[in-house]
Structure 1
Amino acid sequence: MPPNSAPGPDPFDLNPQAATPLYRQIVEQVQRLVAGGVLPPGAELPSVRAVAERHAINPMTVSKAYSLLESEGVLERRRGLGMTVAAGQGLSAESTDRLALLAPALDALAQQARQLGISAAAVLAALEQKLDQEDSQ
C-alpha cells in the first residue's frame, strides 16, 4: 500500500446500535489500524465529510474523534492534506501494546460468555475459528 493512502475510501466499520459512542468507535479503530500497520505514518484518513456521509452521522462526531486522535499524537493535521497518521506511529512494541487495544473487546466478550454460560474453552475455540475464517478471506 502506498504510504499516503488509506485502506479503501473509508476504513471504518461503525455500529450505531453499539453501547460504545460512534466517536469512540472511530478513535479505537484508528488506534488499531495504526498499531497494526494498516495505516502507516503519513497515510491520509478520509475527510470528516466523507466519513459522515458514508455512515449517515453528524460530522461533529467524526471531527471529535479526529481531534482526540490529534491530541493523543496519533494523527496530525496537514494543510491541504487533511488528517494523516503522525510520524513515529505504527507497528512497534515501543509505541504501543497492540494486545492492550483488544482489552475492551475482550472484556465485553468475557462478560457475554459468562452471562450465556459458555465455557472458556468453547469461547477460545470459537474465537480461533473466527480468526481462521478472517485469515482465509
Structure 2
Amino acid sequence: MPPLPHLQINPATGVPAYRQIMEQIAAYRSSGVLPAGSQLPSIRSLAKQLAVNPGTIVKAYNELEHAGIAVSQKGKGFFVTAIEQIASRKQRENELSESCQLLVQQASQLDIPFDRLIQLIQIEIKHHDKT
C-alpha cells in the first residue's frame, strides 16, 4: 500500500494534527484520489511518514470511522467507505438516536433509573445475540 504523498501536517494553522489528517483524507475520498475500498496506510507507517505520534493517527482514523468515511476491518486495517454508505449510515444512526431519545424519555417518565435501563438493554442485546 503506497503512502499518501500529499498528506501533510502544518503546525502553523493551529488545527490539531488529527483533524488535519481527517480533513485531507476526507478530501481525497471526495475527489476520488482515495476510491471506496482503498486501504488507508497503517497507523505506524502514516505516523512515521508525518512524524507524529501513532496515537494521533489512531484518533484521526477513529474519528473518520465515526464519521462514516472509513471502516476498520479487524486485523486488516482501515478502508475508505463509499459515499453512498455515509448517507445511509448517518440516516440509520439518526433514526436510532431518535429511538434512543424516546426510550430515555420513557424510562424517565416511568421512573426507571438509567443504570437499570442500561441493564435492560444489555439483556436484550444478549437475547438478540442468541437468536
**Do these two structures clear the TM 0.5 threshold for a shared fold by scoring above it?**
yes
For structure 2, which runs of at least 5 residues remain unmatched after alignment?
A: 89-131
Give 1:51 shift.
1.0
Q: CA deviation at 1:17?
A: 2.9
Question: Residues 77-130 of structure 1, C-alpha deviation per residue, up to 9 Å, x if partnerless?
Answer: 1133200001x228xxx89xxxxxxxxxxxxxxxxxxxxxxxxxxxxxxxxxxx
Task: Confirm or deny that 1:24 pairs with 2:14.
Answer: no
The structure that is helix-richer by fraction is 2
Cross-structure match for 2:76: 81
* Consecutive aligned runs of 4 or more in structure 1 exceeding 3 Å deviation: none
Distance 2:13 2:45 in 1: 21
Number of aligned residues = 85
The answer to whether the 8 Å contact 1:23/1:62 transfers is yes
CA distance in 2, matches of 1:82, 1:16: 27
State the structure with bigger RCO (CA 8 A, min sep 6), 1 or 2.
Answer: 1
Q: What is the DSSP-based 3-state SS (H/G/I as helix, E as strand, rest coil) of the residue aligned with 1:49? A: helix
Report what 1:44 is aligned to. Answer: 39
Alignment partner of 1:63 is 2:29? no
TM-score by length of 1: 0.56
The percentage of counterpart residues that share the same residue type is: 41
Please report the RMSD computed on the Cα atoms of aligned residues, expressed in angstroms: 2.0
Calculate the TM-score normalised by the size of structure 2: 0.58
